[in-house]
Amino acid sequence: MDSVQSIDQEILKLEEKVKTASLPSDLVEKINTMLSIIKMSLKTGNSQISNFENIQNYINLACSLPFNMETKDTMDINLAKQVLDKNHYGLESVKNTILEYLSSLILSMQKASSSEIKAPILCLVGLAGTGKTTLVYSIAEALGRRYERIPFGGMGDSLSLRGQSRSFPDAEPGLIIKKLIHANSRNTVILLDELDRVSDSARADIMGVLVELLDSEQNKNFSDHYVDYPFDLSRVLFVATANNTTNISTAVLDRMEIIQMPSYSDEEKIVIGKNYLFPKIMYQSGLENGQISIMDTVWPMIIRPLGFDSGTRSLERTLETLARRVARMIVEGKFDKSGKMFITEENIKQFIS
């Protein structure tokens, strides 16, 4: 009896939650039908009561979906330029292409008085460390939108995106729905990261889901198998990245605008290391600004510790090693933390080797 009373109380809470949530009327009707069946089961002692937890989880998730929640877009292209310049050194051709894309996007949204996206999906293609992921974050920051990332590396099942039917034990929604709930916004920026690295066995199925996701005429009624109710993705700004396009299907490529990421020159890496990476790494390592001074003649040795690298990953790892070794010296009392450590050609080896 106690369990029945407990379920009764939970049903009342769910009914109140559904009333206060901004859900489509037909979804509300669907949920009320589910609750009515549970109520009937309570009266008759039917075994349907055992299914209550699954229904409760479903209703809580449905009430969390941002059907009417969205952030206000920042439609200021000058601010967008400032954000891109603040976060990225060089890459002028890439940044110009993004600004042109955002300008067109802003005009189309102003014209339609809506945040619905009707434009090709940007796909940043380049080697690791060339700034693809951080550029997508900058796009979200420039638009004033929330940012979510879906990693495709090693993804082996299209159900990861679309979810699994509730008829299966331990079923759960797909990553698209999960990211929207986490962002609590239907116009978030979602990064589809490393599209070319999905599992060979699932590539065809995953590419099929991507065609639906990236097509503005199809994604208005995206159906997650778990939610089993169409969700409008037309306000989501999808941006993709890939190391190359070889393993991306033609149908998906047709829906994307490819932006090729250039390699950084040594001169650009030195500026990025000095002005962007090292200040951030110093902070993350618990060091104060100015505690480490790297001589100009040392930077060429830092940017190429293992030979040529098109991106900045090796540079970042080298600077992290250097900062951590200085941090250890301070903690062990081998260096006065109020002083300054000078990194020179003579001592650099002890910090990066």
Instruction: Please determine, for residue 304, whether its predicted confidence score (pLDDT) is greater than 90.
Output: no
* Arithmetic mean of pLDDT, 278-293: 90
Residue 1 has pLDDT above 50, yes or no: no
pLDDT at 3: 66
Q: What percent of the chain has pLDDT over 70?
A: 93
Residue 54 has pLDDT above 80, yes or no: yes
Please give the pLDDT value at position 2.
55
- 79 has a pLDDT exceeding 90: yes
59 — pLDDT class (breaks 50, 70, 90): very high
Q: What percent of the chain has pLDDT over 90?
A: 59
CB of 344 closer than 8 Å to CB of 292? no
> Is the predicted pLDDT of residue 352 greater than 60, yes or no?
yes
What integer best gives the mean pLDDT of the chain? 88
Quote the distance between the C-alpha of residue 290 and its chain's center: 33
Q: How far is CA 87 from CA 58, 129, 277, in A?
A: 40, 14, 10
The values of phi and psi at residue 67, to 5°, are: -60, -35
Instruction: Please compute Rg for the chain using Cα positions.
Output: 26
Q: In the prediction, which pLDDT does 75 show?
A: 87
Mean pLDDT of 122-144: 91
Q: Is the pLDDT score of 193 beyond 50?
A: yes
How many angstroms separate the CA atoms of 168 and 62, rounded?
18
Q: What is the pLDDT of residue 114?
A: 62
Helix, strand, coil % in the chain, rounded to nearest 5: 55, 10, 35
Which has the minimum average pLDDT: 83-97, 123-137, 182-196, 337-351? 337-351
Q: Which CATH architecture has domain 266-352?
A: Orthogonal Bundle (1.10)
**pLDDT confidence of residue 40:** 81
Q: 8-53: per-residue pLDDT in tens?
A: 888 888 989 999 988 999 999 999 998 888 888 777 765 556 678 8
> For 154-163, what is the mean pLDDT?
93
Tens-place pLDDT, residues 208-266: 999 999 988 889 999 999 999 999 998 999 999 999 999 999 999 999 999 999 888 88
| pTM reported for the whole predicted model | 0.84
* Contact criterion met (CB below 8 Å) for 353 and 321: no
Average pLDDT over residues 137-159: 94
Judged by phi (left if over 0) then psi (alpha if -120 to 50, else beta), residue 269 lies in alpha
Q: Which residues contact 262 (CB under 8 A, 6 or more apart)?
A: 91, 93, 94, 126, 130
- Specify the CATH architecture of the domain 77-260: 3-Layer(aba) Sandwich (3.40)
pLDDT at 314 over 60: yes
Residue 299, classified by CB atoms within 10 Å of its CB into exposed (0-12), middle (13-18) or buried (19+), is: buried
pLDDT greater at residue 182 or residue 167: 182
H or E segment at 147?
A: strand 147-151
- What value does the mean pLDDT take over residues 167-195? 94
DSSP bridge pairs for 125: 242, 260
What does the pLDDT average to over 145-157?
94
